[in-house]
Amino acid sequence: MAASLKPVTLTPGAVTLADLRAIHAGAAFDLDASAWPGVEAAAASVRRIVESGRTVYGVNTGFGLLAQTCISDDKLETLQRNLILSHACGVGPDLERPVVRLMIALKAVSLARGHSGVRRAVIERLLDFTRHGCLPVIPAQGSVGASGDLAPLAHLACLLIGEGEAVFDGARLPGGEALARAGLETLVLGPKEGLALINGTEVSTALALDALFAAEQVTGAALAAGALSVEALMGSHAPFEARLHTVRGQPGQIKVAERLRDLLEGGQIRDAHAACDRVQDPYSFRCQPQVMGAVLELLTQSARTLVIEANGVNDNPVIFPDTDEAVSGGNFHAEPVAFAADQITMAMCEAGSLSERRTAVLVDPKMSGLPAFLVRDGGLNSGFMIAQVTAAALVAENRSLAFPASVDSVPTSANQEDHVSMATGAARKAGQVARNAASIIAIELLCAAQGLDFRRPLTASAPLEALHAAIRARAAHLDADRYMATDLAALTDAVLDGALGEAAELEL
């Protein structure tokens, strides 16, 4: 798939969500040539600062609580190397390849804004990692989201100096060996370059983008699943009428109702139960625009925040070449990213919760009018009984993960860094909640397709029939109990790769 993607040219300050999504999917990327003059100007500014003999944090001082310690010129290279090695304290599972590629792209963009003071050679070498397929091994845990994603970014920077580990040609190797096999030389970092490499929010932002991209697919599949469940239930279309949502005025709600109308338009099922005596469907069916509209609004806001962050300068100190100033602040503090990640978590928790409730209705013969647990010969067969239990377990897990990480803070660095964002942890669990939600939606899709089978010979709308066919291409009708885990895995994958939304011709 990656080979078929169009290469992305990144213009610092103008990177789009589509650019980042393509890189996450595996597209090759490079920086626009217009960035290099600003990079070179900032690097020259740092050289002038060093030559002037001024004391500037991160250029010729210690770090954190040790910032008052001045470092002599002959030890500045050692200072930067020691900084990288001492901060490479990550633990836990390795970050996935798409996240690492996003990290590298984000770090390159931030440095190329021309306010960090690193040389072009440093940024080029970061880009070389993806050009040559030599990616650093980066443990996922160890960042509190201020003063930058220090530990994981130090693992990225380690590869530049031939330390740490990397994956090249499918093998996990010591950093220096991986570089040699890739035909790349190690670098000696100059003043401020080590600090610029580890200050920043690129890890938490990459993880939050990974969660966002999963959440986008889950949201599309959830709308398709919800519409299919309405037809399997023989539910009412009235709650999706445009006037109902226009008078409230919530943009996400209006958009979701429109998408549901598009999905439900046509077919024979609605007319077949026009004279039924059901007055109202359960909330999980009729309140889909209100709930999923709010989900869509949260994801839209999170996407906006993350795109701004992807284009921003989140280094410290920030170099202003026109005046040769190095201004210390706190742009590395990832609170905006933490809030965005927590919003994604909330949105996915609710999308999954709503879906599980629809599944519970479908498997309940008193509510749906369908065979118990959606299978013939109930008793002999258990059908989708435990599939719904799995969905319930995932909903409960998501709720336990939904407490916002951004409201927590543990002081670090001898209280110099006394308030931190916890953005990296927030983003990691956002990805987990989104993927749990994908499995919850997959279970609903299987149940809704089974329910629709029991409504034959009636047909649903063309988009929903296409969705049904896509489900059946991955999982056959359940005539009798069988090993179901394979079906669940196949449908979860289809949710996350967007195949089911495409089958229903659904665009958010």
List Cβ<8 Å contacts ≥24 apart for 252-257.
252/292, 252/293, 252/294, 252/295, 252/296, 252/297, 252/300, 253/289, 253/290, 253/293, 253/294, 254/289, 254/293, 255/293, 255/296, 255/508, 256/223, 256/288, 256/289, 256/292, 256/293, 256/296, 257/289, 257/293
Catalytic, out of 19, 20, 57, 63 = 57
C-alpha–C-alpha distance, residues 61 and 302, integer Å: 37
- Strands 171-174, 165-168: pairing kind: antiparallel
- The amino acid present at 324, given as its one-letter code, is D
Task: Give 230's Cβ-side CA count (13 Å radius).
Answer: 29
Residues ≥6 apart with Cβ < 8 Å to 280: 236, 286
57 has catalytic annotation: yes
Element (H or E) spanning 152, and its range?
helix 150-160
Residue 22 DSSP SS3:
helix
C-alpha–C-alpha distance, residues 158 and 95, integer Å: 15
10 Å CB burial of residue 489 (0-12, 13-18, 19+) is middle
- Residues annotated as part of the active site: 57
